[in-house]
């Protein structure tokens, strides 16, 4: 009887494979990897317009994960370090997309109009601020903190991922002595050089993804 049971089990398994049925758990999508093509995405900005990464084909793009309620984000905005980096990038023709992946049920969540007002009050120079409340873009890029920074070159390759700078603190006094990794990565990329430090450990507050996302 035991052998008959095993034979029946194997036959059932073979049949399931034959008809394309699988009992295995589906693997999670691959997270963005430096040196490979940046994952495509589309999202609504704070004005309700649909913005896609594909819209900027042939241009260098910076992605910045932002959450106004995070002290580490406040560090770089209150000091105007983030805005200065944004403006310097814009002056070189770089597209800057700020992305908010805060879940709508979290206390840090800001509705599109409120987030737009905050960015305006900070005199931010982002090309667009995108809403990612379902966390799909953040998950695709493996964004863990706010801020978390990414640089995509004109060929669509992810060439930098990590922190904005080398001082992992929430103190504005540490900015002056820090290396701005994004500025360095942009300078090298736009000069046609490989990024010397292509990946660093991002620091800040954890991204407030939806539970179960």
Partner residues linked to 199 by β-bridges = 161
Alpha carbons 159 and 195: distance in angstroms, whole number = 7
pLDDT band of 213, cuts 50, 70, 90: low
Q: Is the peptide bond before 10 cis (omega within 30 degrees of 0)?
A: no
Q: Three-state DSSP class for 99?
A: strand
| Protein fold of 29-206 | Glutaredoxin (3.40.30)
Please give the backbone phi and psi of residue 97, each rounded to the nearest 5 degrees, phi first. Answer: -115, 115
- Using the 8-state DSSP alphabet, how is residue 166 labeled? S
| In the chain, where the domains are located | 29-206
Radius of gyration of the chain (CA): 21
**pTM attached to this predicted model:** 0.86
Alpha carbons 15 and 47: distance in angstroms, whole number = 52
Give residue 31's pLDDT. Answer: 82
Alpha carbons 189 and 201: distance in angstroms, whole number = 20
pLDDT over 60 (residue 78): yes
pLDDT over 70 (residue 173): yes
The mean pLDDT value for 131-151 works out to: 98
More confident residue, 6 or 62: 62
Q: How many CB atoms lie within 10 A of CB 210?
A: 14
Give residue 27's pLDDT. Answer: 33
Of all residues in the chain, the percent with pLDDT exceeding 70 is 85
């Amino acid at each position: 009887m035991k052998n008959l049971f095993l034979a029946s089990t194997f036959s059932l398994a073979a049949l399931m494979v034959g008809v394309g049925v699988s009992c295995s758990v589906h693997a999670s999508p691959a997270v963005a990897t430096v040196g490979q093509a940046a994952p495509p995405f589309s999202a609504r900005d704070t004005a309700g317009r649909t913005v896609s990464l594909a819209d900027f084909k042939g241009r260098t793009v910076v992605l910045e994960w932002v959450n106004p309620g995070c002290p580490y984000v406040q560090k770089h905005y209150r000091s105007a370090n983030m805005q200065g980096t944004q403006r310097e990038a814009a002056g070189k023709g770089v597209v800057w997309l700020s992305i908010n992946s805060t879940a709508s049920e979290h206390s840090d969540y800001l509705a599109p109009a409120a987030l737009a007002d905050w960015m305006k009050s900070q005199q931010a120079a982002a090309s667009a601020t995108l809403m990612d409340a379902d966390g799909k873009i953040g998950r695709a890029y493996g964004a863990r903190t706010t801020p978390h920074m990414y640089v995509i070159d004109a060929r669509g390759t992810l060439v930098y991922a990590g922190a904005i700078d080398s001082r992992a603190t929430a103190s504005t006094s540490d900015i002056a002595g820090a290396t701005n990794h994004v500025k360095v990565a942009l300078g090298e990329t736009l000069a046609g050089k490989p990024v010397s430090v292509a990946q660093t450990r991002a620091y800040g507050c954890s991204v407030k993804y939806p539970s179960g996302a």
